[in-house]
């Protein structure tokens, strides 16, 4: 080949290379300013994702002897664990202490009864009472005993009208408004139908059949209006009438679903045995004896409670309540008033108070004192003490319906234990004497109940026994006119 031919071939190769270096955009100049022939290629990263084994692959693996054994081991372990937990639960249930069944309770067993003998002095009549229900509800009051409100002149039976409200006390429509609002707040309302309430003899004379029959007819009238019970005084006289059983039937019979009405009887001068007999023979739901007012010895008071303990759901405890007298008439100092409030709230039975007892309202001669609604510091503190006791009783089963065990008693002091099943236990100790009392609390051998060495102060009026402090039950001193509630837990 000649030299010229070789040069032509080289030129062709160079032209071919130059064409390859031309930009792909044809005649357009390079926008990036790069030289011709510089081509950058970007290869995207490939994400490798594991999609797991296919069904066929899984079936092949699952069928191998190793996996078959593993599945059986896991299945056996699961069932062994399940059976073990079931067996453990059964053992716990079998070995756990049996809960004691709650006794039947009515509304009057759930909180204090609050008597308002004079509505004019309390709230300027029925209309004012409706506006005071909120404050009574704060005290956990469960029952109001109103009046007597009916028309009668002292010792004049011909003026008696048990179905008519005294004009100065209000109207029937106002009573209906009270009943409706009280029901919404869980407060039951009882009317006192003692015929001759302003006279010395509640039934004018020995209660004859005609007078009890009038009370029966009036009870039917007011129950149809919506009242939750009837109260009468001098139960011993009234219950001798041949019409007594018909009165019971009107009040206690034909209850609508969810309602229970109470027949209340007050009795003066009866000893504990006689009170128990009256409960059994008269069939009253609540009896208001005068035991705490007529007995001022601690030993005698303990014995009276011992007699009535088994009937605690029907016994109303008050200091002067059976006579419609305020607590302050007997408990003349604020310390004694708080002492008796503590005692009434913790005794096995129903605490019964007269209006103003929560404030220590003082009697003004024979005239009913006006209720105080704008309280000073001392009255506010007294009300808070009363409310705290009511709150405590309402939530503690030992105090609501617990068993009762006397611990210590003397002429001026007493102590007792309240116990319910596995609930917190409470000890009440009071000393209404003028000197300090040294208490040694001992409990006779009792199945399932023992006293610990120490207990904690829950509530106290003694400045030397402060709340949450520990007290030795072997011996401790309670100041004059002082009271204390001690608590200790159930230990299985």
Residues 6+ apart with CB under 8 A from 282: 235, 239, 244, 265
Q: Write phi, then psi, for 191 (nearest 5 degrees).
A: -105, 135
Contacts of 89 (CB under 8 A, 6+ apart): none
Supply the pLDDT for residue 69. Answer: 83
- DSSP, res 367: B
Q: How many Å apart are CA 479 and CA 465, to the nearest integer?
A: 9
Q: Which two tokens stand for residue 130?
A: 């409706």
Q: Residue 472 and residue 492: Cα distance in Å, rounded?
A: 21
Per-10-residue mean pLDDT of the chain, 492 residues long, equals 48 48 46 48 57 71 78 88 89 72 90 97 96 97 97 95 96 97 97 94 85 96 96 95 95 72 96 97 97 94 96 96 92 96 98 97 84 95 98 97 94 96 96 96 83 96 97 96 97 78
Q: Could you tell me the CATH superfamily of domain 405-488?
A: Golgi alpha-mannosidase II (2.60.40.1180)
Cα 430 to Cα 413: distance, rounded to the nearest angstrom: 6
d(CA 17, CA 91): 95
Sheet (strand 454-460) strand order: 403-409, 413-419, 425-431, 482-488, 454-460, 470-472
The 10 Å Cβ neighbour count of residue 426 is 24
- Measured CA to CA in angstroms, residue 344 lies from 14, 269, 275, 298, 410 at distances of 123, 19, 18, 14, 18
As beta bridge partners, residue 478 has 437
Is the peptide bond between 148 and the residue preceding it cis, with omega within 30 degrees of 0? yes
Are 437 and 477 in contact by the 8 Å Cβ rule? The answer is yes
Topology of the domain comprising 107-395: TIM Barrel (3.20.20)
**Residue 19 — φ and ψ, nearest 5°?**
-65, -35
3-class SS of residue 54? coil
Model pLDDT, residue 470: 97
**What is the number of other CB atoms lying within 10 angstroms of the CB of residue 259?**
11
* Segment holding 266, helix H or strand E: strand 262-266
- Residue 461 phi/psi, 5-degree rounding, is -105, 0
Closest by CA to 143, choosing from 253, 286, 247, 250, is 286
Sequence-distant (6+) residues with CB within 8 A of 125 are 119, 168, 169, 170, 174
Categorise residue 325: left if φ over 0, alpha if ψ from -120 to 50, beta otherwise: beta
Q: What pTM does this model have?
A: 0.81
Alpha carbons within 13 angstroms on the beta-carbon side of residue 8 total 5
Q: Which two tokens stand for residue 359?
A: 């404030």
In whole angstroms, give the CA distance from residue 136 to residue 125. Answer: 16
Axis-axis angle for helices 65-95, 55-62 (nearest 10): 70
Give start and end residues of each alpha helix (H) in 309-358: 334-346
Predicted confidence at residue 271, as pLDDT, reads: 96
| Sequence ranges of the chain with CATH classification 3.20.20.80 | 107-395
CA angle 18, 21, 24 (to 5 degrees): 130
- Strand 482-488 to 425-431 pairing: antiparallel
- In 3D, which of 292, 299, 343, 296 has the Cα closest to residue 320? 292
In this structure, what are the phi and psi dihedrals at residue 135, rounded to the nearest 5 degrees? -70, -35
What local confidence, expressed as pLDDT, does residue 67 receive?
78
Residues of the chain with CATH 2.60.40.1180: 405-488
Task: Report how many helices (DSSP H) and strands (DSSP E) the chain contains, helices first.
Answer: 15, 18
Geometric angle at alpha carbon 408, from 114 and 272, rounded to 5°: 50
Q: 314, 280 in Cβ contact below 8 A?
A: no
For 58-93, b/e burial (b = at least 16 CB within 10 A) is eeeeeeeeeeeeeeeeeeeeeeeeeeeeeeeeeeee
| Cα distance between residue 125 and residue 223, in whole Å | 20
């Amino acid at each position: 080949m000649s030299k010229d031919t070789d040069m032509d071939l080289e030129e062709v190769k160079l032209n071919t290379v130059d064409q390859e270096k031309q930009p792909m955009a044809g005649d357009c100049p390079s926008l990036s300013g790069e030289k011709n022939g510089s081509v950058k290629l970007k290869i995207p990263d490939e994400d490798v994702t594991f999609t797991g084994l296919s069904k066929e692959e899984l079936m092949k693996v699952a069928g191998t002897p190793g996996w078959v054994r593993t599945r059986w081991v896991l299945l056996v372990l699961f069932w062994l664990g399940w059976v073990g937990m079931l067996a453990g639960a059964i053992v716990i249930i079998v070995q756990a202490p049996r809960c004691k069944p709650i006794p039947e309770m009515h509304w009057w067993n759930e909180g204090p009864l609050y008597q308002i003998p004079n509505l004019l002095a309390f709230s300027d009549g029925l209309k004012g009472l409706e506006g005071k229900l909120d404050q009574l509800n704060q005290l956990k009051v469960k029952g109001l005993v109103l009046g007597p409100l009916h028309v009668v002149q002292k010792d004049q039976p011909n003026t008696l009208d048990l179905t008519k409200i005294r004009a100065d006390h209000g109207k029937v429509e106002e009573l209906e408004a009270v009943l409706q609002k009280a029901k919404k707040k869980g407060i039951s309302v009882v009317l006192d139908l003692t015929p001759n309430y302003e006279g010395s003899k509640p039934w004018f004379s020995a209660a004859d059949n005609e007078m009890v029959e009038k009370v029966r007819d009036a009870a039917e009238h007011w129950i149809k209006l919506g009242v939750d019970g009837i109260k009468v005084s001098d139960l011993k006289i009234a219950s001798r009438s041949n019409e007594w059983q018909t009165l019971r039937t009107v009040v206690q019979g034909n209850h609508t679903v969810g309602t229970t009405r109470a027949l209340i009887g007050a009795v003066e001068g009866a000893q504990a045995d006689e009170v128990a007999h009256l409960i059994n023979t008269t069939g009253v739901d609540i009896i208001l004896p005068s035991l705490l007012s007529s007995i001022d010895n601690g030993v005698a008071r303990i014995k009276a409670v011992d007699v009535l303990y088994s009937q605690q759901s029907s016994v109303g405890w008050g200091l002067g309540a059976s006579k419609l007298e305020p607590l302050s008439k007997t408990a003349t100092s604020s310390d004694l008033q708080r002492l008796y409030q503590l005692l009434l709230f913790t005794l096995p039975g129903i605490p019964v108070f007269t209006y103003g007892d929560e404030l220590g309202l003082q009697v003004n001669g024979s005239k009913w004192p006006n209720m105080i609604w704008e309280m000073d510091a001392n009255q506010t503190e007294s009300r808070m003490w009363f409310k705290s006791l009511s709150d405590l009783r309402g939530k503690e089963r030992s105090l609501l319906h617990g068993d009762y065990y006397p611990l210590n008693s003397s002429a001026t002091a007493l102590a007792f234990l309240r116990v319910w099943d596995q609930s917190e236990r409470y000890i009440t100790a009071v000393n209404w004497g003028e000197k300090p009392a040294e208490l040694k609390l001992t409990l006779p051998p009792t199945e399932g109940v023992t006293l610990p060495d120490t207990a904690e102060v829950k509530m106290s009026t003694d400045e030397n026994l402060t709340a949450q402090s520990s007290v030795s039950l072997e011996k401790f001193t309670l100041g004059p006119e002082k009271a204390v509630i001690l608590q200790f837990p159930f230990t299985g």
